[in-house]
Structure 1
């Protein structure tokens, strides 16, 4: 037995010896291949990962020290021949968090999931590890080892010549099949912390072919992530979700980190900052402004970027965010490199702007930001400004090309600052406009101080409430709102006394409590509660804390603008196409007022419980306020529609009757929306002051049918009555809509009862009035049979 052990050890040692010899031989071969590869490379560049490029063949030289380190791989569009799927500079997805590992033959690319977390010291972590192994996305054969034998070389040509779904710039559905013959690597650079690769790619879609160059970045993340800050439902920051498992509790603990930049003082300035001194951050946020932006607009865009300096200064950082031009004659600058934050100009017909950012998903640290500013957004900004304020402001009237640069620049500055807010990590705050009393928006002193909303991150454009006679009133959003200053403080002010995210919570909560009696610090991100219920304090494009009063003011202005539209839009100079565009803008604005008011019907306010002004989390809109909303809608529907058309307008635009009739039908459809009726029924059972479905339908019927003979004789009214009857019948026929809102039998009974009431009215009216009225009610009687 003893001799057997000796023999076995001898065999093992012999095997190890042979493996060692083979390994040395293999390393020698790989080293020789390295020399051959490097000598043939047209481009070799050293960085944290070195690159070698030769005749479309791309190799990465990955040091052993990088194995197991966290990295990001992301993608954006460099150039493109068709903007149907994406535009130059756009990134459609967050980058992948990855790690490399290797054995003696291959290097493996692992995709890391950060959503589920567990303390490695927890006893149940053994099970956690078994059920959450790292995904191997792909493997690369080791082609060579460098001369120092501390780095492996892999061929990534095919990897970057194919679509990588997780970082494709074309969304989830892809864009077509890659054409290999026109696909090649055209650029590769290596730096201390990132690698940049550009691949020219051809795609064959279902109907056409197009070209696109994709810019991929590989980024080395710091060994120690930034200390994250825990998210709160009371603040408007994008979040990184975590699901923590622990043996201390049976359920999964859900929490989130906010997305924010790493903003901290230089080491030598920490004490100064603690003492309240203004200091420059260790690494400021620098945004480069696209050199293709028209020169006259650049100062306004830079101002919009640097407006956020005011908020950062309040927490002790000066020059925290800086706007610079693209460097000129600097070959080392590439706008799409990961290290650069850019405000990009997109020359397409799309009227939009969007702010994005890339993050370290381990901590929520924003590593890179971008704004896409589309060419036609400027015309959209003008259309909004005109349709919302032309009744009050003569300076916005006339030839749009002659509107002063100051006015247009103010609009561009607002849009730039809003999108930079997104790049700083902020979501929209749709409740910020609700903080202001409606009549305060007619006050020169109030609007000059606060603008139109408490946050620039609201969709509160221009002051459509200010009436023609209101002089000196501010018409535009603030540079930054009261809420924006607080949001920057909450996310970015260092809390030196806290060593962990958990320890920060007490201070963060205290900041909320200090502002709990002021509606300017309220936050609302969504327009509903997931069940179709609307919150009338959280709406887009709305102003003030009373949607009915605000909409009445807005409707007065819309009618005044339409009355003077030909003259005020300079139609004689700019032509009928421009007039049509401006007409549509005024009608869209007017229609928004209906949408705002409709949110009261079956609506429910949702407030955070910690706010002293609103101690109840859910509060149903009162019956009185709902009836007030219906009154507004019916007043507008039954008013004279001649303001939407005139002989002069129809000479230029053609008959507008059909458009108006269709619009009427849409308004009736909205009033009879299943979601509205289901919400009302729900509130009837839960509210102390309900507006029952039966009463609501009865009120509509009374307003539509209890009319003077003169009013009843108009085509508009007769069309509304028919649309209403057809709408009720459709509800009985189709019990559920596409969104899943299903009527119960009690709602169905209310609808049937209302149709019977209308039938009785129609039978009686069919025998009275002029021929048109008789014919109309005979028709209603017919369709009600």
Structure 2
């Protein structure tokens, strides 16, 4: 027995020695060789990819992406979606090769190797994959990289689980290398595989876009990319600049200095002649538009993206930003190309601008824009409701396509702006649409009682955008004090009155700024809301069967009606932020920006008045002629997420949309953080409007009487949503004790009132409200009031994830 075991061990050792001595040429003699950044081989008979490594312990970039996606906006696994950018290197340990990701979040930028080593050893690295050495020759080694390519590097299974679509795993038996996308170039190697995920589909989103929902097949792309050279010039980040940034902790920093280093994300751009006021670049920034985009969409995308050349001209560059159609032999995932990709999904959704960025420096290596193809149809639909486009029956008014293409140009410029480094600027509308980095609502005007669309979207780059590009890309001559020069650009921006506030300052729930909003217009959100209410009244009065084509089911008028009835939804979000609001900016000590200040009482009162006007029964009601022309929906045209939620079964609900609006507005006004601010502002400055006054104004509005029976029904919805909002505030753990007490006191007052007037229905309704309140007061933490019906899908008219369903739900 011992002899047999010994012989087996010897044979294994000999076999291992022979394998270790196998040359790469011998191992790969029957494979297809692809030379490039990393030479690799395609073994068609075994379906494997073999990677030749001649760059051990040499760092490079690794990016994974989806070449073919799932097609659901809600799931968020789109064609062309980029994963994270990682710096990695191959390290050999005996017969193994490890793909290691060093930790660049913690560094010591120092000439002392021991100091560098101390930091490196203090924080964990990540070994992403391990391989076996299969052959070697002349200092090069060969590994089988197939298992990595067939792995779920993009986290598809995790995303499906997070979006509640089911539990899935990658199935190797149904996955394979994708040979058409095995490509190699001098500075990047591109690899791709078809990956099938198997499991049990539990979500409707997945079932709606896959032929067999339990088997989800995508294509996953892997890019190995040469790191840029060391000639890129870092630019320190500045929170006022409007740029995104990279950051890390530098433990070699002197104690008196900030240990966190932040640098601006931007493309490399240099003047041929830095001393010249205007110079051509050493190498222009070049973008390519997806050949899969049809006309006239493709031309609109190119035109909009080219607007950025105006900003680079302002920064002293000539022909620095070029946009063209993608070459026929190019692939959008090739790192050499900045791309604008046209992406299809089953529903409309947001677009985004992402990038491959060097984590060491913030240098943008590749810009990658993904534009959802159904978005343009939503803008077409909005225009369809604003005018009567089917006067002749079937051919739509050309103004519809004109508005949709105008929005598409702006969208292309916006998303490209992200890929050149810029963040959102949601305060730009205050400055007369000074930036394409805002989310623009169509500026629809009334002229002599007629709806006018020609100024719906702005054309070209705004003044803020030019200032931002000057700050980020100005190539200063040698000897310039760059910090002072950059501060001077910001000071000039402040002097010109150009505002900048970004995402966290514009969200409807948490924001306090009366200037930073999504999908708004005008210098004053309140004044624009009042203007939109006048426009809305005219649009609803003009609404008729001529808003759809001859032959379309009359029930589909609702799809066109929804964005008209809700046309003020985003302006509401803007106006409400004046209530309990604060004017502020990203001020630095010593700069020229103004200090923060509470929104004056008069502005808060005007905003509150405008908000309460929107929930008056006459403004929640539909004109009778609209109710007369929308029948139940025919087979095949079922009610969906773009329609109103109803309580009337098959028929159009004349009240539920008003309930939705009322509930949203009142929950917004009595948002716990807003209520707390109102209470504190009143305590600090007694002249300010306080929470009790706001609640009193709301009560006066919702308890006012009306002789119109339809309006009375809507007013009951107002009262119901008012008491719900008070209960939610009274039990909120996010509100202060004072704010909760004010809501509690108001509920007690309503519960103690006698409501003897009105018919039996009205008395019963008020008895029901008192019972609801008393049930809550008897057991405050256990009672949850019924929620208002959620609104139809709204955003994105543009690019944001935020949906009006957030009203009252967070």
Q: TM-score range by the shorter chain?
A: 0.7 to 0.9
Shift of the 220–104 alpha-carbon distance from structure 1 to 2, 3 Å rule, reads: same
- Is structure 2 residue 454 aligned with structure 1 residue 488? no
Is 1:620 the counterpart of 2:603? The answer is no
Conserved 8 A contact 2:383-2:399? no
Q: Say whether the 8 Å CA contact 1:371–1:423 is kept in structure 2.
A: yes
1:651-703 deviations in Å (ceiling 9; x for gaps):
31523223323432333333333232122123234457432222222222233
Give 3-state SS (helix, strand or coil) of 2:568's partner.
Answer: helix
Higher mean C-alpha displacement, 224-233 vs 29-38: 29-38
Tell me which residue corresponds to 1:19: none
Shift in alpha-carbon separation, 1:769–1:156, aligned structure 2, 3 A: closer
Contact conserved, 2:379 with 2:403, CA < 8 A, in 1? no
Structure 2 unaligned segments of length 5 or more: list them.
1-14, 202-213, 632-651, 775-810
User: Which residue does 1:751 correspond to in 2?
Assistant: 743
1:691 corresponds to which residue? 689
Match for residue 510 of structure 2 among 504, 513, 532: 532
For 1:67 and 1:294, locate their aligned partners in 2 and report how far apart those are by CA, in whole Å: 45
Are 1:358 and 1:369, in contact at CA under 8 Å, matched by a contact in 2?
yes
Residues 1:60 and 2:56 are matched in the alignment: no
> How many aligned positions are there?
717
Higher helix share: 1
Q: Which residue of structure 1 lines up, in the alignment, with residue 324 of structure 2?
A: 324
- Name 2:171's counterpart in structure 1: 179
Do the aligned partners of 2:617 and 2:714 also contact (CA within 8 Å) in 1? no
Question: In 2 relative to 1, CA 494–310 (structure 1 residues): closer, same or farther, beyond 3 Å?
Answer: same
In structure 1, distance between residues paired with 2:292 and 2:740: 60
- Secondary structure of 1:519 counterpart: coil
Query: 2:562 aligned with 1:562, yes or no?
Result: no
Q: Supply the distance in 1 between the matched residues of 2:263 and 2:554 (Cα, whole angstroms).
A: 52
Determine the C-alpha separation between the residues in 2 that align with 1:361 and 1:542: 35
1:358 alignment partner in structure 2 = 356
Residue 187 of structure 2 corresponds to: 193
Q: Is the 8 A contact 2:620 2:714 kept in 1?
A: no
TM-score normalised by structure 1 residue count? 0.83
Task: Work out whether 1:629 is the aligned partner of 2:587.
Answer: no
Deviation digits for residues 212-266 of structure 1 (CA, Å, limit 9, x no counterpart): 221111001134262221111112222112222236217852232221111123x
Deviation at 1:93, TM superposition (A): 2.2
Once the two structures are overlaid, the 10-residue window that deviates more, 721-730 or 355-364, is: 721-730
Q: What whole-Å deviation, never above 9, does each CA across 1:37-58 have from its counterpart, x for those lacking one?
A: 12121x1011231101113121
User: Within 5 Å, which residues of 2 pair with 1:381-396?
Assistant: 381-385=379-383, 390=387
Find the aligned partners of 1:93 and 1:553 in 2 and give their Cα distance. 43
Residue 278 to residue 386, structure 1, CA distance change in 2 (3 Å): farther
Contact 1:108 1:139 in 2 (8 A): yes
Within the candidate set 62, 81, 89, 1:99 is matched to 89
> Alpha carbons of 1:530 and 1:724: their partners in 2 closer, same or farther (altered >3 Å)?
closer
**1:276-321 per-position Cα deviation (integer Å, ceiling 9, x unaligned):** 2331x23322222222211322222111121111111222323322
Q: Which has the larger radius of gyration?
A: 1
- Are the aligned partners of 2:613 and 2:619 in contact in 1 as well (CA < 8 Å)? no
Please say if 1:347 is aligned against 2:344: yes
Structure 2 equivalent of residue 11 of structure 1 = none
| Residue 454 (str. 1) matches residue 434 (str. 2) | yes
Aligned counterpart, 1:203: 197
CA contact under 8 A between 1:184 and 1:201: conserved in structure 2?
Answer: yes
Aligned to 2:279: 278
Q: 1:557 to 1:111 in 2, by over 3 A?
A: same
Q: Secondary structure at the match of 1:644?
A: coil
Give how far 1:157 is off. 1.4
Normalising by structure 2, we get a TM-score of 0.80
- Shift of residue 541, structure 1, vs aligned partner: 0.7
Q: Secondary structure at the match of 2:141?
A: strand
Residue 224 (str. 1) matches residue 230 (str. 2): yes
Tell me how far apart the structure 2 counterparts of residues 772 and 381 of structure 1 sit (CA, whole Å).
Answer: 43
Q: C-alpha separation between the residues in 2 aligned to 1:731 and 1:418?
A: 38
Q: Which moved more, 1:399-408 or 1:318-327?
A: 399-408
Instruction: After TM superposition, list the pairs within 5 Å mapping 1:457-472 onto structure 2.
Output: 457-464=437-444, 468=448
1:732-771, aligned counterparts within 5 Å?
A: 732=730, 734-736=731-733, 741-744=734-737, 746-759=738-751, 762-763=753-754, 765-766=755-756, 768=757
SS in 2 for 1:463: coil
* 2:426 pairs with one of 425, 430, 437: 430
Cα RMSD, aligned residues only: 3.5
Q: Call closer, same or farther: CA 1:541–1:614 in 2, change over 3 Å.
A: farther
Cα 1:747/1:369, change in 2 over 3 Å = closer
